[in-house]
Amino acid sequence: MKTIQEIQSDIVEEFSVFTDWMDKYEYLIDLGKGMPLIDEKDKTEANLIRGCQSRVWLSCREEDGRLHFAADSDAIITKGIISLLLKVYDGQTPADILAADEEFIEKIGLRENLSPTRANGLVSMIQTIKAHAAAAKASSAAPASGRSIDEDIVLALRQVYDPEIPVNIYDLGLIYDIQADADGQVFIKMTLTAPNCPIADDVVAQVREAVADVPGVRDVQVDLVFEPEWTTDLMSEEAKLELGML
């Protein structure tokens, strides 16, 4: 099987034959028609990708250590975009998905030829795919019995990604405090990179759901605050390295 880098190189070569973006859009539409479609029973709220202008469903299953995706959208261009991402990531390992960049997006000029709402949707698609990879990688790590509940909560938080920056919210420094008592009550104080984030409620809900799935957790309370104000100084070294800040 080809590596993610090899697939990206193939995509760049395929798109290089088109000089007009209308032709590239047509090619995207054709890709969407041929991608593995999500089963109708999996078109649920849980599988909807948050942050997309149109509705996009994505399902994920793991088999023999590799992730397999299926998707669908009610918009033809969006369907083509998610199919392009699945072409890159379908059948890859969680570790390889998490380690990969998306340089092909810039090389084929995709991002600059999308509307702002579609560009935001593209970021949300990538984040969701990587969140599935992070969850799969975490589940294959040491059993929860070998870690404290605080460590498991941190692992869960690392499965939630910022809506605008492709880094998980824990390494981004958005988690200000975690408190877990012996009865399984968990209190989390967090912030966002910007107070006017349009999907703040969705991010908080993702945090609550991720932590609620941790063994031993009975209840989760999330307090969203904006004091102190978030700055890049709160980011981990790994996050800064991933974003090219080091």
Q: Express each pLDDT in 74-103 by its tens digit.
A: 889 899 999 999 999 999 999 999 999 888
Average pLDDT on 11-25 reads 91
Q: Give how many domains the chain has, as a whole number.
A: 2
Pairing of strands 175-180, 185-190: antiparallel
Last residue of a domain, one of 88, 109, 139: 139
Nearby residues of 236 by Cβ (< 8 Å), 6 or more positions away: 170, 171, 172, 173
Q: What value does the mean pLDDT take over residues 40-48?
A: 88
Higher pLDDT, 68 or 241: 68
Instruction: Please tell me whether residues 8 and 116 are part of one structural domain.
Output: yes
Q: pLDDT per residue over 107-158, tens digit each?
A: 999 888 888 888 888 988 998 999 888 888 776 654 444 567 888 899 999 9
pLDDT band at 60 (very low <50, low <70, confident <90, very high): very high
Question: Are residues 127 and 148 located together in one domain of the fold?
Answer: no
The CATH number assigned to the domain holding 154 equals 3.30.300.130
pLDDT for the residue numbered 142: 45
Q: Is 197 annotated as catalytic?
A: no
CA 108 vs CA 17, 51, 105, 213: distances in Å: 11, 23, 6, 39
pLDDT at res. 144: 46
Q: Looking at residues 14-29, what average pLDDT do you find?
A: 90
Same domain (yes/no): 116, 182: no
128 shares its domain with 148: no
Same domain, 180 and 90: no
Q: One of 28, 31, 38, 52 is an active-site residue; which one?
A: 52
CA angle 239, 212, 156 (to 5 degrees): 20
Residues 119 and 158 in one domain: no
pLDDT of residue 34: 84
Same domain for 106 and 8: yes
φ, ψ of residue 51 to 5 degrees: the values are: 95, 0
44 has a pLDDT exceeding 80: yes
Based on the domain organization, do 209 and 92 belong to the same domain? no
How much is the pLDDT for 246? Answer: 67
* Residues 129 and 149 both lie in one domain: no
Q: What CATH number is associated with residue 127?
A: 3.90.1010.10
From 139, 160, 187, the end of a domain falls on 139
At 117 the pLDDT is 84
Asked if 153 and 97 sit in the same domain, the reply is no
- For residue 117, give its domain range: 4-139
Same domain, 198 and 225: yes
Q: Which of 122, 139, 156 is the last residue of a domain?
A: 139
Q: Are 99 and 21 in a shared domain?
A: yes
